[in-house]
């Protein structure tokens, strides 16, 4: 049970709450569930199962495991660690924003409900105002939008990525507090983090249930549900829908970040990782679907109060959906303070679980690779890692920090991690060999994977990942945030950030072939010959999604 909560806490993150509902209604509502489920069955779940089985059998982190699979691909492990650091640079900043909202929720009046604050402009108007003399224009903004953009982010004080401005000391303190929690949760390993799993992994579900029940009783909730689920079957003819479905299930389940390998490496050798993969994947998909109802009942309520279409209310995606639209909906409900507190506390806990997991993946990988140097100095290593993450996140705390977050989100993780996982599945299925891999699973579980899993690992999963990569290159996303369009040079910068992690793979291949002993043929043969796994044993079983 502890392991399941661990992996669920990692896989269920902020993206389940904001990304899936938005992508679902944008791509045909209920019709989107068909490509989503197909991509999950033939792509996401097989990859998820593969990583759990690899980690549990070889009992190694994402770097040292490659000597047991295909040594020349060891650069994949280093690339994964770099990508995990990039994620830590921006992901925790979103939690800092949520913490700012949480602290602001303890005021007598929620500050994003009025236009009389120091940060408000003349364009601020109350959408929920009963004053029929209020006039609206295209330049009108809500108090929730101005609180988010002008008080929390202070993005109006930055001209863009070329001039980010100073660091916001309020957000810096919030982020410092977040990283302090992170450090004291993982500094001793899973022995300490296991004490918080029952809260961090289960509390978000309690809050989602409370918000769902409350949202369903609000006027106009049905409008949001209809808008969310009404199928548009014509959308299925668009390749964009299938691209979004593939990307969503991939990033939702989260293979390729080293976390699943690390968690599974602490499991008992005969643990049923097959069952774990199916249960966790199912819970993840159902959570995304449930989150859609939580979000869209509120959006339907907002549309009813504003006397607008739901589509006009649901125009914001990403964090704006949570920090502007949803925050405003909560603020205009009875017991607004209570619901605001539990909502933003849920956002923080969802983020903490994933941050714990991402950093634990890096820690396990580095300690396994350099045991003599780090195994007895875990506390100091974790402290150094957390400090690096905090310093790396400083650019996201500037007045233009939201632009940096967007840049990292679009380029630093997406294409790089998909390419890394493509190489990973090729190395396992084609070099290590599906037959050998299935024999490993038989030794652990007592049965061989069926033909479906073999076909997925050998052919369907590589095609699934290649499809996402080609789609990204052929149809690069137009990156914009608020009214700021990212200039062309940021695309080149984004690709450089992405390549900076992936370059570890070919670089290590060259390094290995140059430094190995023997003739070139002998070195090449050695580079693809796995070293048998020893009878390794972890001192403790993983107990948290951290």
pLDDT digits (tens, 9 = 90+) for 76-92: 999 999 999 999 999 99
> Considering the domain boundaries, does residue 431 fall inside one?
yes
**Mean pLDDT throughout 288-300?**
89
pLDDT band at 546 (very low <50, low <70, confident <90, very high): very low
Torsion of CA 119, 171, 201, 250, to 10 degrees: 90
pLDDT score, position 544: 33
Ligand-binding site membership of 353 (annotated): yes
Q: Looking at the 3D structure of the chain, how many domains does it have? A: 1
pLDDT classification of 541: cutoffs 50, 70, 90: very low
The H or E element containing residue 2 is: helix 2-11
The full length of the chain comes to 546
Pick the more confident residue, 467 or 387: 387
Mean pLDDT, range 112-133, rounded to an integer? 78
Residue 544 lies in a domain: no
- Confirm whether 167 is domain-assigned: yes
Angle (CA) 61 67 69, round 5°: 90
- Of 6-10, 379-383, 482-486, the one with minimum mean pLDDT is 6-10
Residue keyed to tokens 């070139």 = 520
Which structural domain range is residue 303 located in?
A: 2-121+139-527
Which residue has tokens 């940021």? 490
Q: Given this model, what pLDDT does residue 108 score?
A: 86
Q: Is 440 assigned to a binding site?
A: no
Q: What is the mean pLDDT of residues 343-364?
A: 91
Q: Is residue 70 part of a domain?
A: yes
Mean pLDDT of the chain: 87
Residue 483 is assigned to a ligand binding site: no
Cβ count near 140 (within 10 Å): 14
Instruction: Tell whether the model's pLDDT for residue 198 goes beyond 70.
Output: yes
- Nearest in space to 403 (alpha carbons), one of 170, 162, 191: 162
CA nearest 57: which of 68, 47, 46, 67? 68
Q: Minimum mean pLDDT among 209-213, 225-229, 306-310, 349-353: which range? A: 306-310
Paired residues of 484 in beta bridges: 481
Residue 11 marked as a ligand binder? yes
For residue 213, tell me if it sits in a domain: yes
| 282 among annotated binding-site residues | no
Per-residue pLDDT for 4 more than 80? no
- Known binding residue 284? Answer is yes
* SS3 letters across 424-449: HHHHHHHHHHHHHHHHHHHHHHCCCC
DSSP for residue 194:
T
**Ordered DSSP codes for 349-397:** HHHHHHHHHHHHHHHHHHHHHSHHHHTT-HHHHHHHHHHHHHHHTGGGG
Q: Is residue 227 in some structural domain?
A: yes
Residue 477 burial by Cβ neighbours in a 10 Å radius (0-12, 13-18, 19+): exposed
Is 537 contained in some domain?
no
What CATH number does residue 307 fall under?
Answer: 1.20.1740.10
The per-residue pLDDT for 536 is 54
Domain for residue 543, yes or no?
no
pLDDT tens-digit series, residues 527-539: 999 988 765 555 4
The number of CA neighbours under 13 Å toward the Cβ of 299 is: 29
């Amino acid at each position: 049970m502890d392991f399941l909560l661990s992996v669920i806490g990692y896989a269920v993150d902020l993206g389940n709450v904001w990304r899936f509902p938005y992508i679902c209604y944008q791509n045909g509502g209920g019709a989107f569930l068909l490509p989503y489920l197909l991509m999950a069955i033939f792509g996401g779940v097989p990859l998820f199962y593969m990583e759990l089985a690899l980690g549990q059998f070889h009992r190694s982190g994402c770097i040292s495991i490659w000597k047991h699979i295909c040594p020349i691909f060891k650069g994949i492990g280093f690339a994964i660690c770099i990508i995990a650091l990039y994620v830590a640079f921006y992901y925790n900043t979103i939690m800092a924003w949520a913490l700012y909202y949480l602290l602001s929720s303890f005021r007598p009046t929620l500050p994003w409900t009025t236009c009389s604050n120091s940060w408000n402009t003349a364009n601020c108007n109350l959408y929920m105002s009963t004053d029929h003399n209020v006039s609206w224009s295209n330049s009108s903004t809500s108090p929730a939008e101005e609180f988010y953009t002008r008080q929390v982010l202070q993005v109006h004080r930055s001209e863009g990525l070329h001039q980010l401005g100073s660091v916001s000391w309020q957000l810096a303190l919030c982020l410092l507090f977040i990283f302090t929690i992170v450090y004291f949760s993982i500094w001793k390993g899973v022995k300490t983090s296991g004490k918080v799993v029952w809260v961090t992994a289960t509390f978000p579900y309690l809050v989602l249930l409370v918000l769902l029940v409350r949202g369903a009783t609000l006027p106009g909730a049905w409008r949001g549900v209809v808008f969310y689920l009404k199928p548009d079957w014509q959308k299925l003819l668009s390749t964009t829908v299938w691209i979004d479905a593939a990307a969503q299930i991939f990033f939702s389940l989260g293979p390729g970040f080293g976390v699943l390998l690390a968690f599974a490496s602490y499991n008992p050798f005969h643990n049923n990782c097959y069952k774990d993969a199916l249960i966790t994947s199912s819970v993840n998909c159902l959570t995304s679907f449930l989150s859609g109802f939580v979000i869209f009942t509120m959006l339907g309520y907002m549309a009813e109060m504003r006397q607008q279409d739901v589509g006009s209310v649901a125009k914001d995606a990403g964090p704006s959906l949570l920090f502007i639209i949803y925050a405003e909906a909560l603020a205009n409900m009875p017991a607004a303070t209570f619901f605001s507190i539990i909502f933003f506390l849920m956002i923080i806990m969802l983020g903490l679980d994933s941050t714990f997991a991402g950093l634990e993946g890096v820690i396990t990988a580095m300690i396994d690779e350099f045991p003599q140097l780090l195994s007895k100095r875990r506390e100091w290593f974790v402290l150094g890692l957390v400090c690096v993450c905090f310093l790396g996140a400083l650019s996201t705390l500037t007045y233009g920090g939201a632009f940096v977050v967007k840049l990292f989100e679009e380029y630093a993780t997406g294409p790089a991690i998909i390419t890394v996982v493509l190489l990973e599945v090729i190395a396992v299925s084609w070099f290590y060999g599906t037959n050998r891999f299935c024999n490993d699973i038989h030794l652990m579980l007592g049965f061989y994977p069926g033909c479906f899993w073999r076909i997925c690992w050998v052919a369907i999963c590589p095609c699934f990942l290649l499809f996402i990569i080609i789609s990204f290159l052929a149809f690069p996303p137009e990156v914009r945030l608020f009214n700021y369009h990212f200039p062309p040079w940021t695309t080149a910068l984004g690709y450089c950030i992405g390549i900076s992690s992936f370059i570890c793979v070919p670089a290590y291949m060259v390094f290995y072939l140059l430094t190995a002993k023997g003739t070139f043929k002998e070195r090449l043969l050695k580079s693809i010959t796995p070293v048998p796994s020893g009878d390794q044993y972890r001192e403790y079983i993983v107990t948290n999604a951290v």
